Structure 1
Amino acid sequence: MTEQSSVKLHGFWASPFAMRAVLALKVKGIDFEYIEEDLSNKSDLLLKYNPVYKKVPVLVHNGKPISESLVILEYIDEVWTDAPHLLPKDPYLRAKHRFWISFFAPLFETMMKTLVTDGEAQKTVVNELLEKMDVAEQGLKEIFPNGVAPFEEQKPGYLDIMFYSLFGTHEAAEEIFGKKFLTVERYPLLVSWVNALKQVPEVNQVTPPIPKLVGFLHFIRQRSAPPKA
């Protein structure tokens, strides 16, 4: 059996974690079967392949399951070794990319807290998120010393995929809150990074429709609201 003989991915359309895995497979040019999961009625296969967390994504390569989006991306880059590569080959640059990947990794939880809180609690979480974005705006200049170049001669890598999975659909959250967070005035580098990635065909293929995502986020917010007395 060849490396690519059987590749399946269990995901969910609104999951940023599943988006990472789908985008990595597309960027690497790997043919795969996508299996959409109903997270309110998880399939027996999903529970079998990921009995620990029972979550998407799960990559199944030649019958062997790999769980957790960050583990999946590293696995993809290690198994399918032809270019394009998701991580730089230079060890120092690879370490730098991994540092920023680990910086971005916890931000999804912070972002979800903004969705399920209100009032002062929400304001505190939003400020925490903006402070993290301030750090990224300044710190990532070491990765992009000349600004973010268009993705014309290279494909998005691991760090690009991580960043886009979090901020690529920022318009949906901004519509929920009626306020822009990712502004060019405060975050010129981050905004240019998002805009450059949006020009990549593979990225457009995996980005969920903003109106549909807004509806889903409204559902999450309403579901988490405390019951009225």
Structure 2
Amino acid sequence: MSEPVKVLSAFGSIYGHRPEVALRIKGIPYELLLEDLPNNKSELLLTCNPVHKLVPVLIIVTRSICESLIIVEYIDEAFEGPPLLPADPYERATARFWAQFIDQKFARPFWMSICRADGDKKEEGEFFKEAKANLLLLEGQLKGKRFFGGDSIGLVDIAASGLARWLQAFEEFPVLHRWAKAYAGDERAKECLPNMDELVSKFTAVRKKLQAMAEVQK
């Protein structure tokens, strides 16, 4: 496919990283367009994703695809290059299951916990207790393998990519710790992973702003 490819994303977006690394694995050049979220959404974003008005969005000429995991599967089907999903139907279904598991149990709840304005310690403690149990389940899927996809990065690794930076600090999960270092060390992933210091700084600032707004509203 020779049409120009664009990715609408935002700095630090774990969802925006997914189509980027998928395109890099496939060797597809693309133009990255960063949105100033949440308050200054471009007309292009509102036009290409009128339902959710969120990033990422994959744009190929006049066609747009939304939702990060759907985009990754589209890239796998539409472009030649290393496969991101297994060829076997059962293994493909299993990969999709674990990718959805990661989104449901980690991605959205994790960032909601970070950005909570009230800082409810009890609720946060319950979330992290459940998260540890789910991390053990993920470790079980990794044993004996370099990546969830085997010897190379696949759909589940890309779904879990938002954890890669953070899990490098969690040595109590040695299998995931090793995976996180391997993922973040992959040249294709490294090129589009946000700098950890900048990431922490951004989300610290977001949380402080939300807490300040919550205090004003009391």
- The AA in structure 1 aligned to 2:155 is Y
Asked whether the 8 Å contact 1:21–1:73 carries over to 2, the reply is yes
Q: Which residue of 2 aligns with 1:71?
A: 70
Q: Which residue of 1 aligns with 2:136?
A: 134
Give the CA deviation at 1:4.
Answer: 2.6
Question: SS of the counterpart of 2:215?
Answer: coil
Q: Does 1:169 align with 2:157?
A: no
Asked whether the 8 Å contact 1:27–1:155 carries over to 2, the reply is no
Q: Which residue of 1 aligns with 2:49?
A: 50
| Alpha-carbon distance in structure 2 between the residues aligned to 1:48 and 1:131 | 40
Asked whether the 8 Å contact 1:10–1:36 carries over to 2, the reply is yes
- Deviation string 1:47-88 (CA, Å, 9 cap, x unpaired) is 0000000010110112101111011111111111x2301101
Backbone CA RMSD of aligned residues: 2.2
Q: Which residue of 1 aligns with 2:154?
A: 157
| Alpha-carbon distance in structure 2 between the residues aligned to 1:56 and 1:114 | 20
Asked whether the 8 Å contact 2:27–2:81 carries over to 1, the reply is no
Asked whether the 8 Å contact 2:26–2:81 carries over to 1, the reply is yes
- The AA in structure 2 aligned to 1:227 is E
Asked whether the 8 Å contact 2:165–2:180 carries over to 1, the reply is no
Q: Does 1:97 align with 2:95?
A: yes
| Alpha-carbon distance in structure 1 between the residues aligned to 2:2 and 2:160 | 27
Q: Does 1:111 align with 2:110?
A: yes
Give the CA deviation at 1:154.
Answer: 5.5
Question: SS of the counterpart of 1:203?
Answer: helix
| Alpha-carbon distance in structure 1 between the residues aligned to 2:71 and 2:177 | 27
**TM-score, normalised relative to structure 2:** 0.88
Asked whether the 8 Å contact 1:4–1:31 carries over to 2, the reply is no
| Alpha-carbon distance in structure 1 between the residues aligned to 2:4 and 2:185 | 30
- The AA in structure 2 aligned to 1:41 is N
Give the CA deviation at 1:198.
Answer: 2.0
Q: Which residue of 1 aligns with 2:7?
A: 9
- The AA in structure 2 aligned to 1:97 is A
Give the CA deviation at 1:137.
Answer: 1.8
- Deviation string 1:94-125 (CA, Å, 9 cap, x unpaired) is 12211111110111122123312332121111
Q: Which residue of 2 aligns with 1:177?
A: none
Q: Which residue of 2 aligns with 1:204?
A: 190
4+ runs of 1 displaced by more than 4 Å? none
The count of aligned residue pairs is 210
Pick from 120, 123, 147: which aligns with 1:121? 123
| Alpha-carbon distance in structure 2 between the residues aligned to 1:112 and 1:195 | 21
The gaps in structure 1 that reach 5 residues or longer are 175-179
Give the CA deviation at 1:155.
Answer: 4.1
Pick from 189, 192, 196: which aligns with 2:175? 189
| Alpha-carbon distance in structure 2 between the residues aligned to 1:211 and 1:120 | 27
Asked whether the 8 Å contact 1:147–1:189 carries over to 2, the reply is no
Question: SS of the counterpart of 2:160?
Answer: helix
Instruction: Among all aligned residue pairs of Structure 1 and Structure 2, give the percentage whose two residues are the same amino acid.
Output: 31
Asked whether the 8 Å contact 2:163–2:180 carries over to 1, the reply is yes
The gaps in structure 2 that reach 5 residues or longer are none
| Alpha-carbon distance in structure 1 between the residues aligned to 2:65 and 2:174 | 36
